[in-house]
Amino acid sequence: MRIMHLPVSFLPYYTGGKEVFVAHLAAELQKMGHENRVVVHSDSRIPSDIGQYEYDGIPVSILPPVRVTHTQYWRGEATLDDSFERLLRQYRPDVVHFHD
């Protein structure tokens, strides 16, 4: 099974319970034969120029930052560029797990 994990942040740029949980979950699922990919948006700590990296054998994709105002968010007017849609078409996950 192909699983795409979408936490807001990930190791090694952020270190907290959620980041550690996602890393352990993906590692255990990988041991069971599932293919995992973590996807995060770049921000002040996660540089966008990396594009992709690997953390303990888990592929991680970095998408451009989300730029949305508070008002746009609450009105449901937030839009993303097409990088996430392209990644979905390319990776074709069976499961998309939003961790936030």
- The string of pLDDT tens digits covering residues 13-23 is 899 999 999 99
Encode pLDDT of 3-60 as tens digits. 999 999 999 989 999 999 999 999 999 999 999 999 998 887 887 777 899 999 999 9
Q: Could you give the number of structural domains in the chain?
A: 1
Alpha-carbon span 46 to 57, nearest angstrom: 19
> How far is 23 from 55, CA to CA, in rounded Å?
8
Q: Which of 68, 14, 94, 87 is nearest to 46 (CA)?
A: 14
Give me the domain span that covers residue 77.
Answer: 2-98
Dihedral angle of Cα 41, 8, 59, 1, to the nearest 10 degrees = -120
Rounded distance, CA 91 to CA 19, Å? 22
Q: Over 80: is that where the pLDDT of 75 sits?
A: yes
CB atoms closer than 10 angstroms to residue 46: 19
Pairing of strands 95-98, 2-6: parallel
